[in-house]
Amino acid sequence: MEMLTAAASVHTPAPSGDELLAEARAGSDNAFAALVREHQAMVFGLAYHFLQSRAQAEELAQDVFLALHQNLARVESARHLVFWLRRVTSNRCIDSVRSVQRRRELPIDELHEPAVPARVSDPLLGELLRTLVAELTPDARMVVTLRFQEDLDLSEIAAITDMPVNTVKSHLRRSMDALRRKLADRGHVYES
């Protein structure tokens, strides 16, 4: 009998996102914790790539999930949950930079050259890319992060950031041009 129960528990499918959401709304801490684990890499990643600080990203990501807990009743489905988390994370990231004015915003053409060797290996290239992305203006930075971390198309990014699609397109094009130019100065030539 115990073996049967064990076998049944092994074959019990994991609850879907919608089921987890329903359980969390009903007050299950376990279900809410499962939702946090499922989406923490997305939320923390967006915040980390935007803020370039693990400590600030941790605080912001925790705030996002606290806000989710306060607003669970307003989240309609698992799909809506992903949209909601991306949108709230995006808004909080941009808001944190604008309100604190932590860094001076530079026009995209005035980005300073990071102090890295001319020829860099792949890990350093990744670091160089993150540094260059982190110095874009907040809106452009969030567009680039959503595009390449979350692999979203322009209309999805527009819906999350509440920008017109053409503005998103313009941010992306100008950011990519600037990144190509800066990388070419360092010996990394990429075709557009």
Residues that bind other proteins (CB under 8 A): 29, 32-33, 36-37, 40-42, 44-45, 48-49, 54, 57-58, 61-63, 65-67, 69-71, 87-88, 91-92, 95, 125-127, 129-130, 133, 144-145, 147-149, 151, 162, 176, 179-180, 183, 190-191
Length of the chain: 192
Nearest distance, CB of residue 122 and other proteins, angstroms: 8
Q: Which is nearer to other proteins, 110 or 191 (CB)?
A: 191
Q: Which is nearer to other proteins, 97 or 179 (CB)?
A: 179
Pick from 191, 143, 187: nearest CA to 165: 143
Q: Which is nearer to other proteins, 3 or 115 (CB)?
A: 115
Nearest distance, CB of residue 69 and other proteins, angstroms: 5
Nearest distance, CB of residue 133 and other proteins, angstroms: 7
CA distance 152 to 57: 21
CA distances from 110 to 2, 61, 106 (A): 68, 30, 6
CA distance 63 to 151: 24
Which residues have CB under 8 Å from 1's CB, separation 6+?
none
Using DSSP's 3-state secondary structure scheme, residue 23 falls into helix
Nearest distance, CB of residue 53 and other proteins, angstroms: 12
Q: Which is nearer to other proteins, 6 or 54 (CB)?
A: 54
Phi, psi of 116 (to 5 degrees): -130, 155
